[in-house]
Chain A
Amino acid sequence: MSYLAAFVLAIISYSLINNVVLSRFYGICSFIGVGNKIKSAASMGIAVSFVIIMASLICYPIYHFILVPAGVAFLDTITFILVIASLVQVVGLFIKKFSPSLYRALGIYLPLITTNCAVLGVVSENTMSNLDFGMSMANAIGTSIGFLGVIIVYACIRERLESSNVPNAFKGVPIALITAAIMAMAFLGLSGMVG
């Protein structure tokens, strides 16, 4: 199998089969937190996707060309979280300068992205599983697509749930988790698709 085919298959697998939220459980907090309005869900999804891809792009060379040769590979978590935190700051400043309207839409979500497990999760996974640069990027791109897609679909379902009559005890987060369970069941059907 050529590398390109493996790359495409890996993207499909990371976005659908091993979906970031529904089977890897990253980013649940923001998923449950902002997933009840389509517009805010989409904004959050785009911002997170952007940061995931940028963070993977930057952390790969830092880990393989600086930390490993220097013999301090064990400092990876500290380095990555600092890179992510500063990246989020820089992205925030950049958006503020070039597109104030986008900043107004995304602004409040930016600080939340630093503590979104999806970003650190993807970067740590890349180094823990010894993925090469291409596959790390496949993981980042696939994860972003998966996150964006699922959070929007989920927001659509929850907007409708708001107008339905749910038992008192299940109102809010419990019914949101049950919804996620049913979505995860649907995604479970995709396992084994890429062989």
Chain B
Amino acid sequence: MRKVNQDRVPVRIKGMGDGLCVTLDPAQPLSHLQEELAIRFSQMKNLAVNARVIFDIGEKDGYEDLIEELGKFLRKTFGVGSVSRFLRDGPVSEEIIRKRDMENSWYHYQSDVLMLTGRVRSGQKVTARKHLLIMGDVNPGAEVLAGGDILIMGSLRGTAVAGQPDNDGMIVLALDFQPTQVQIGGFVAAGLPPSSKKLPEFAHVENGTIVVEDYLKADPFGRLPWPQVR
């Protein structure tokens, strides 16, 4: 078999959501591209049947004929479902974002939140890549770490480390806020004054220190006019 440079491979396939993204170089001749596609699609066997195929030809415009031709070829030989062209995100206008957000079109949004129920006990350590939501209590001696926000729907008495490694914009929220220690990004707050108010409170970074406030009073996100992905 001919050895090819990885950068110059004319056809590459990767899974994208529930479809297949086919990256190809449209400058190559049609027959060559078909050959390459045939090799790769025949390896996938049944996976290709009824699959949604998206062609990505880079930043270039035109080539509609080429895509149509290749689409026809794939449909005929491998029985793929739909064939379409990958659209680059241009500068998406504010209006479109707003429209999307207002129309509740979150249905296809996939979340990075780790959501757990139950009690985190002393000696246990929960680490989340992004946001962490625990419906339960965090006991003294337990540690909860997250790359994003930490929300505790219960009492927080252990250590909470949010915004790892260096995101200062994150918050730590608990319905009963009595942590041993809170860290947000690079800031550490130890020896927080004990508040047994049993109010939902949250910690955030303000002017280089961690500040704890009554969540309902401060309402940090109440001023955002429409829902946004965090």
Asked if chains A and B come from one complex, the reply is no
The interface of chain B, by Cβ under 8 A from chain A, is none
The interface of chain A, by Cβ under 8 A from chain B, is none
